[in-house]
Structures are given as structure tokens and as C-alpha cells.
Amino acid sequence: MRRIAHQTGLSKSSVHRLQQAIARRGRHPESWLWETEDGRGWLIRLVVATLYTFGLKRGVGLETISEFFVRLHLETQVGCSPSALRGVMQALEAALLETAEAWEQDGCADGEIREIIGAVDETFLERMMLVCMDLRTGYLLLETVADDRAYATWQALVEERLTALSTNVRYLVSDRAKALIQLAEKGFECLSMPDFCHVLHDLGKSYGLAIGQRVRHAQQALTKTQEALARRQGLSHMPHDDLAAETVMEARQAEVARWAEVRHTYRAHLATLSLALHPFRISDAAPQTAAQVESTLRATVEALEALAQRHQLPARPKTMTQVRTQVPALATLVDFWWEGVEQDLTQAAISFPWKQWAREVLLPCIYWEHQMAHTRCARRKAKLRQVWETVYATFHTHALTQRLPVQVLEDWHAWATQQVQAFQRASSAVEGRNGALARLHHNQRGLPKQRYKVWTVLHNFDCRATDDTTPASRFFRREFPDLFETVFAHVGDLPRPRQRHQSLALSG
């Protein structure tokens, strides 16, 4: 030790202490790897990626992550205590917020005025949060804690973000809260669109549960009758007893069949509602107007109410009144969307045959393809595929389509895709975001104040779709570097391991 101290210029006590540290780090067979340059770099990546992926994005607590690192024998290489990992996590959060702010400024530097289709809602976690999302791209403009959800609060917060992002609102989709309607009509002077998802949900709560209970009770009664009949077989020799049992069995089977048919009819009406609110008819893909959509919606709602009355289901006058009140506003979206299409076609200064081709051939093909990709129900997807195959064949065999060069056709396709994405009738994306926030909040306690902002950054810049795009890349129409690699470059060396007295006693 004297020789090493003389050669290195360190004190003998420092040399002794460092030799003990080297011995502690080399207790495991794989410890040599972490002493190499490549191994140390990979170790840092392992720790940071675990904190980023599981700690920040999945809500796993630091105590659990600390236990995970200890089981990997990393406690002798880096500081694995929850407090040490918390320092690394805070550095990651600061880097994420700084990076997102810089990228937003870069995205707005081109000066382009973007138009959003906003969805606004509130969610309740430890405190109330106000959420505003662009439905077309999935970009979160606003996700912040607020003391109230009054119009003035909404208007101030959203207006600040719109100004910062150089954007304006085309229309707002909401759950018809008065403050949100006022925000659209007074604050931004745009269309206030009811949330079609809420309408279908209200109808489902009103009659779906009641019909399901009737079906279940009828099936239970049939099962009990079958079991009783099986027990009585061979015990009774009276013909009239067998005849009575068969009569009861037939009645039970008829009841099951009746309620099964009611459920089938009820679901068919809901499917009709869903398939009616489109700018094209599902039957022949022809363009339709708001008046036609409103007529179909009203007729279907009345059919649902008549079905409930005919089978003596519980009356829901308040819900049905709310639904009927929202029907005209729902249908208005169709005409509003067509106005945007016509405005673009007029500005393009093209002849009538090309306008007709765009309205009746190109747009239906792109629209039904988009809807088919975003529909999960197998029955509805089959109907959408059927109509899409028809319009797809028409599109590719049309004389005007065949005259277009490949590049021009791609430009038309991009324009039609933008128009199709502008038809947003539900804020289900915001509801999904609220559910994700609730899950993350449930997993953690004592959250730092900036963690909500970090979750927003992760959603905007690191939530990838099937085409590998993020909400930020779709919103700003440009590519951004990989978020993890960017913040990983800001992370220095990890905290050193600390040898506790208890650990020293156990090792001795």
C-alpha cells in the first residue's frame, strides 16, 4: 500500500479504502464486465432505461425498481437505494421537460398556422385535471391541475396554449357541459360538437343493462326447469304431469328466445346509430346531408324507445330527452365537414368532373378505409369492408383515376386523408387518456408536482402508433429525434454505491 500510495500520490488510507471498494465490487462472477468501458456504458443504459420505461412510463415504484437492481447484483456497482434512484429520476424529468419545450419551439418556428379539432374534458385524480387534445393527431395541448372547471379557467388555459403553439380551433367535441359549450361558441367562436360516444353510452346504460338482466333471468329459469324435469323423469307415471312439464318447458324456451331477439334488435339499433353518423351512406357510399343523417338518427332513437315500451323496460325519459336534444347538433357535423371539403375544392380551381370525382369516388374510398382500420366490432367492420371494397373497385377503375400520374395521385390521397381525419365525432381518445392517467396515478403515491407534465411529454413525443409516428410528429408535421436517446445523453455518471453498516456486518 505504501508503494501504491507513493506511485499514485494518494494517502495510504485512501489506497486501503479503494482496495476494499474494488473487492466489494468484484464479489460476483460478472462484476468484471462493469469495470470495462463498454460494460460501464451498458450498465448506465440499463439503469436509465429501467427508470424511464418502468418508472416514468408504467408507474412502477422506486422501491420495486431498487429491489430489481439488487437482485441483478448491481448494488455494488451503482447506488440502488430508492433515494439514490430518485435523484436519477429527477434528472430524467428535468431533461424531458427541457427537451419538450425546445422541440415545441422548433416545431412552431416555421410559422405555420395549424388548425386543431379539440376534445376537452376533465378527470379527477388527487386533484382535478383539465385535458385538451387534438383529436386529429392525438397531441395533448393541455393537461394541467386546476382548482375549478369554469369557463374562465378553461378559456385562459387553452388560449395560452393555442397562442404558444400558433394554432386555432376548428371545432370542439365535448360532453355538453355548459362551460365547454360556452368555450366553443363564445371563447373560440366555433362549432360545439356533442360527443357521440357519450350518446351511445347513455343509451347503453338506459336499456342495455335491463335487457341483459331479462336475458339472464330467462336463461336461469329455463335451466332450473330443465333440471327439475330431469329429476322428475322416471318418478312420475301420470301423463298429465308430463304434459304440464312440457308446457312449462316450451314457455321458458319461448321466453329465452323472445329476450334474445330483443337484445339482437337493440344491438342492431345501436349499430344503425353508429353507421348513420357519417358523411357517406353505408348502403351505397353516396354523400349525404345533415338532414338525412338527422332523420335516420331520430327514427332509430324512436325505434329504441318503442322497443323499450313494447317489452315493458324501465322508462328513461330524461336520458331519451337528452339524446333527442343532441341529435341535431350531431348531424350538423356532416354539413360542417362538407363545407370544408367544398372550400378546398373551390380554392383548387378544378373543373366540375374533377370535383365530382373527389367527392364521390376519392373521398369515400379513403374515408371507409380509415373507418375500417379504427373499428373493433367484427360485425361493423364486416359492413365497412363490404362498402369499402365496392368504392375501392370504383376508384381504381375510374377513368379520371387512371389518367393521374403517380405523384399527383399521392398528393390527392394526402389531401383526402387530411379531410377524412377532420371528421371527428367522439372524444374517446381523451377518455382513454383519462383512464391511462388514473392507472398511473393509482400505482404511485406522493407524486412530485412535475410528474403530470412529464406524462404529457411522454405521450406527445414517445407514444408511437403502428406507423411509428408520435402525436408530436403528426401535429408539427416533422420528425423528432428519439426522446429516450436524447434525454439519455443528458445523464452523467450514476450515483456511487454506499456500503451501509448493516451490509458490512453481514459481509463480515
On the 0-12 / 13-18 / 19+ scale of CB atoms within 10 A, 387 is buried
**395-445 residue pLDDT tens:** 999 999 999 999 999 999 999 999 999 999 998 888 888 888 888 777 655
Tell me the β-bridge partners of 174: 194
DSSP-derived pairing of the beta strands 128-134 and 114-124: antiparallel
Strand, coil or helix: 23: helix
Q: With bands split at pLDDT 50, 70 and 90, how would you rate the model's confidence at 485?
A: very high
Which of 475, 380, 489, 348 lies closest to 421 in space, CA to CA?
A: 475
**The pLDDT of residue 179:** 94
Q: Phi first, then psi: what are they for 501, rounded to 5°?
A: -60, -40
Note whether 452 and 421 are same-domain residues.
Answer: no
Residue 393 lies in a domain: yes
Q: With bands split at pLDDT 50, 70 and 90, how would you rate the model's confidence at 508?
A: very low
Interval 277-302 mean pLDDT: 94
The three grid cell numbers given for residue 338, joined into one nine-digit string = 362538407
Q: Using an 8 Å Cβ cutoff, are 475 and 114 in contact?
A: yes
| Integer Cα distance of 220 and 225 in angstroms | 9
**7-11, 149-153, 307-311, 390-394: lowest mean pLDDT where?**
7-11
Cα dihedral 440, 441, 446, 450 sign: positive
Residue 315 lies in a domain: no
Residue 501 reports pLDDT greater than 60? no
Residue 239 reports pLDDT greater than 70? no
| Integer Cα distance of 154 and 412 in angstroms | 37
Residue 123 lies in a domain: no
Last residue of a domain, one of 425, 454, 488: 425
Note whether 416 and 449 are same-domain residues.
Answer: no
**The pLDDT of residue 24:** 64
Output the pTM of the full model.
0.84
**131-178 residue pLDDT tens:** 999 999 999 999 998 989 999 999 999 999 999 998 999 999 998 899
Note whether 46 and 105 are same-domain residues.
Answer: yes
- Work out the number of other CB atoms within 10 angstroms of the CB of residue 227: 10
Q: How distant, in Å, are the alpha carbons of 53, 381, 506 from that of 377?
A: 31, 6, 60
Residue 293 reports pLDDT greater than 50? yes
Residue 288 lies in a domain: no
Q: Using an 8 Å Cβ cutoff, are 477 and 417 in contact?
A: no
**The pLDDT of residue 502:** 42
Residue 434 lies in a domain: no
Residue 67 lies in a domain: yes
**43-57, 262-276, 393-407, 446-460: lowest mean pLDDT where?**
446-460
Can you count the helices (H) and strands (E) in the chain? 23, 5
Q: Phi first, then psi: what are they for 128, rounded to 5°?
A: -70, 140
Residue 44 reports pLDDT greater than 60? yes
428-443 vs 451-462: helix crossing angle, rounded to 10? 130
Q: What region does 264 belong to: left with phi over 0, alpha with psi -120 to 50, or beta?
A: alpha
Tell me the β-bridge partners of 134: 118
**The pLDDT of residue 504:** 41
Check residue 109 and report its DSSP letter.
T
Note whether 415 and 463 are same-domain residues.
Answer: no
Cα dihedral 437, 433, 319, 217 sign: negative
- Residue for cell digits 405521450? 459
290-310 vs 239-276: helix crossing angle, rounded to 10? 160
Q: How distant, in Å, are the alpha carbons of 33, 84, 490 from that of 39?
A: 5, 21, 19
Q: With bands split at pLDDT 50, 70 and 90, how would you rate the model's confidence at 237?
A: low
> What are the residues whose beta carbons fall under 8 Å from the beta carbon of 224, sequence distance 6 or more?
none
378-397 vs 363-373: helix crossing angle, rounded to 10? 150
Residue 181 lies in a domain: no
Note whether 461 and 419 are same-domain residues.
Answer: no
| Integer Cα distance of 318 and 205 in angstroms | 12
**372-390 residue pLDDT tens:** 998 888 889 999 999 999 9
Last residue of a domain, one of 425, 456, 474: 425
| Integer Cα distance of 382 and 342 in angstroms | 30
Which of 188, 82, 39 lies closest to 90 in space, CA to CA?
A: 82
Q: With bands split at pLDDT 50, 70 and 90, how would you rate the model's confidence at 128?
A: confident
Last residue of a domain, one of 390, 425, 460: 425
Q: How many CA atoms lie within 13 A of 134 on its CB side?
A: 27
Q: With bands split at pLDDT 50, 70 and 90, how would you rate the model's confidence at 507?
A: very low
**36-50, 275-289, 411-425: lowest mean pLDDT where?**
36-50
Q: How many domains does the chain have?
A: 2
Interval 297-318 mean pLDDT: 92
Note whether 455 and 389 are same-domain residues.
Answer: no
Instruction: For the sheet with 167-174, list strands across it.
Output: 140-145, 128-134, 114-124, 167-174, 191-194
Residue 28 reports pLDDT greater than 80? no
Residue 9 reports pLDDT greater than 50? yes
Domain that holds residue 413: 350-425
| Integer Cα distance of 276 and 270 in angstroms | 10
**The pLDDT of residue 356:** 94
**28-32, 234-238, 444-448, 489-493: lowest mean pLDDT where?**
234-238
**The pLDDT of residue 12:** 83
Residue 208 lies in a domain: no
Q: With bands split at pLDDT 50, 70 and 90, how would you rate the model's confidence at 503?
A: very low
- Residue for cell digits 307415471? 237
Residues in the chain: 508
On the 0-12 / 13-18 / 19+ scale of CB atoms within 10 A, 322 is middle
**The pLDDT of residue 440:** 79
Q: With bands split at pLDDT 50, 70 and 90, how would you rate the model's confidence at 497?
A: confident
Q: With bands split at pLDDT 50, 70 and 90, how would you rate the model's confidence at 225?
A: confident
| Integer Cα distance of 23 and 65 in angstroms | 25
The one-letter code for the residue type at 370 is H
Q: With bands split at pLDDT 50, 70 and 90, how would you rate the model's confidence at 506?
A: very low
Q: With bands split at pLDDT 50, 70 and 90, how would you rate the model's confidence at 370?
A: very high
Measured at the CA of 425, the angle between CA 390 and CA 394, to 5 degrees, comes to 15
**157-167 residue pLDDT tens:** 999 999 999 89
**The pLDDT of residue 360:** 94
Which of 103, 330, 110, 108 lies closest to 203 in space, CA to CA?
A: 330
On the 0-12 / 13-18 / 19+ scale of CB atoms within 10 A, 462 is buried
Which of 364, 333, 362, 332 lies closest to 348 in space, CA to CA?
A: 362
Percent of the chain with pLDDT strictly greater than 90: 59
Check residue 116 and report its DSSP letter.
E
**The pLDDT of residue 242:** 61
- Work out the number of other CB atoms within 10 angstroms of the CB of residue 70: 13
Residue 244 reports pLDDT greater than 80? no
User: Mean pLDDT in the chain?
Assistant: 88
